[in-house]
Amino acid sequence: MVDKPTVISLFAGYGGSSLGYQMAGFRELLAVEWDNNAVETFRLNFPDISIYNGDIAKLSGEECMKLAGIQKDELDVLDGSPPCQGFSIAGKRRFTDPRNLLFQEYARLLTDLQPKIFVMENVTGMIKGYMKQVYLEIMRVLRGCGYKAKGEVLNAMYFNVPQSRERVIIIGVREDLGIEPSHPKPQTQALGLKEALGLKEALGLRRGWGIRCGDGIKNKQFHNKWRSLDLPCMTLEKIRPPILLQNGIERDLTLSECAKIASFPDSFIWGKKAYQGIGNAVPPLLMKIIAEHIRDNILDKAVKLD
């Protein structure tokens, strides 16, 4: 492709997805994010990307296209990770959680913009148990926007990220293109934390929150035993960083260690509530591989069809 493929990022957060697309050679036209702390960090790292800092429900499709400098049908990829707390198994998982309805704003802009492809990321809690009904409704709505859509569970630890982080990735292709959506295959073996961080004397890792109970820490969702450092890190959370046992002393993983576990480069600049940003972020290296797969297996085919 001669020109760089284009992307708009909804619910852009601190910029994990944006960085992944940038690594894959995409040009981001607009980011949409309401959280001021996230916007601060985003602007520090992506000063050349326009950002809409406000409520997505108040952003019309017409204004979105005007800010991005595009017309309907021109955008290559619409990306977005609607807030997932209403689906997460670490939360209360309520059907009525208003955050579960934010995907409707995503679908509204998808209908207005009609990009060639969309990518939507969320937690695996949305496909488990009674919450699967919500997932099936989401798929029905997205397909009703004029897209062939397919969802798969991808674990970041098989995509060059030293963290076990499962996420549902839904990829949709506009129906008129006649191309089936597909996902990248696992790229690597799981990378252990000891190798990723160069830890030599460390013995184990556990979550940084819960109630102490003999051989570990537990809470209502998890029994938190020490985890071998030969394994990838457990899923990073925004509550508190994991605790490392090193030289007989327990310590929190540092911000730079957590950022590296999430596959952010050392050059990435963090503003306020950085741990929260890392815990919520899509790992950039995971999104890079997804974006490369979309570029090579869908967008390039669409160009040849034209």
Active site residues: 84
Which residue do the tokens 């601060």 mark?
Answer: 40
